[in-house]
Amino acid sequence: MSTDDTPPKVWTWDKENGGQFASINRPTAGARFDRDLPRGDHRFQLYSLATPNGQKVTILFEELLEAGHDAEYDAWLIRIGDGDQFGSGFVAVNPNSKIPALMDHGTDPTRRVFESGAILLYLAETFGAFLPKDPAARTEALNWLFWQMGSAPFLGGGFGHFYAYAPTRIEYAIDRYTMETKRQLDVLDQHLATNRFMAGDEYSIADMAIWPWYGQLVAGKLYGDAATFLDAARYGHVRRWQDEIAARPAVQRGVMVNKISGQPSEQLHERHSASDFETMTQDKRAAQTGA
């Protein structure tokens, strides 16, 4: 950029632009190194990290298991801050190098599924669960699923980036994305004023998609003190919905999978069986190794 902040006629990438993820950001796609992905014993192999997008899928897997479906899965940790998503094995599953990515080894040929919304829809249709059978309710669930996929980039890549991660605080950018985030919260609050869940009375993949972003935001779990900054307490219907979903045991398990921050007792870096929640959290592993 020139000194007067006028963009050049043709942008070129000749330096890192700063910020938390500057070391991994490039304007190019594709693998940067060779690395095969691990594979466990189960049909479904998930490669992810417990960001809101990653939590959507692990919440659905745990909800499927809680409901009695044969949905066992292996969840492998992809450390995006270290650039794991640019390994050749991961790029073969998701050429966009974003988590989560899923392999279904129960099909012939094996199927790859990428984009969190696509994974939620794929699993819901595979198991016939958490997507309403009634055509009107199904349409409403899909309306809100795709609303989340289109809206959350303004929350995460817009508000979250400029409020919490950018190397400098830019008032215009923060104001612009704060306004949009509060508008989206108001959309949700008005809808949830007359609906228990996003598709009405039936809990669905729409709730699982939206909750890790907007529910966790109003609960104060995203971007430091962002809930205070956004005056999140005013969105009472979103808070009611957030609290109800947060109390679900499958949700509580799902947010732990592939988690690498917070209390060690809440971190399950990899998940290969239901017993891992009792024996393989980071506090248990530390006790086992004496670390």
Specify the pLDDT at position 3. Answer: 45
The token pair that represents 277 in the structure block? 């929640």
DSSP 155: I
In tens digits, the chain (291 residues) has pLDDT values of 444 678 889 999 887 666 777 778 899 999 999 999 999 999 999 999 999 999 999 999 999 999 999 999 999 999 999 999 999 999 999 999 999 999 999 999 999 999 999 999 999 999 999 999 999 999 999 999 999 999 999 999 999 999 999 999 999 999 999 999 999 999 999 999 999 999 999 999 999 999 999 999 999 999 999 999 999 999 999 999 999 999 999 999 999 999 999 999 999 999 999 999 999 999 999 998 765
* Contact criterion met (CB below 8 Å) for 44 and 104: yes
Instruction: For 135-254, give the CATH class.
Output: mainly alpha
Give the residue among 157, 126, 127 at the shortest CA–CA distance from 25: 157
Return the structure tokens found at 281: 């959290």
Torsion of CA 57, 63, 66, 71, to 10 degrees: -40
Half-sphere exposure of 273 (CA within 13 A, CB side): 6
CB burial of residue 199 (10 Å; 0-12, 13-18, 19+): buried
> What pLDDT is recorded for position 21?
74
User: What global pTM score does this model have?
Assistant: 0.96
Phi, psi of 143 (to 5 degrees): -55, -50
Domain ranges of the chain: 135-254
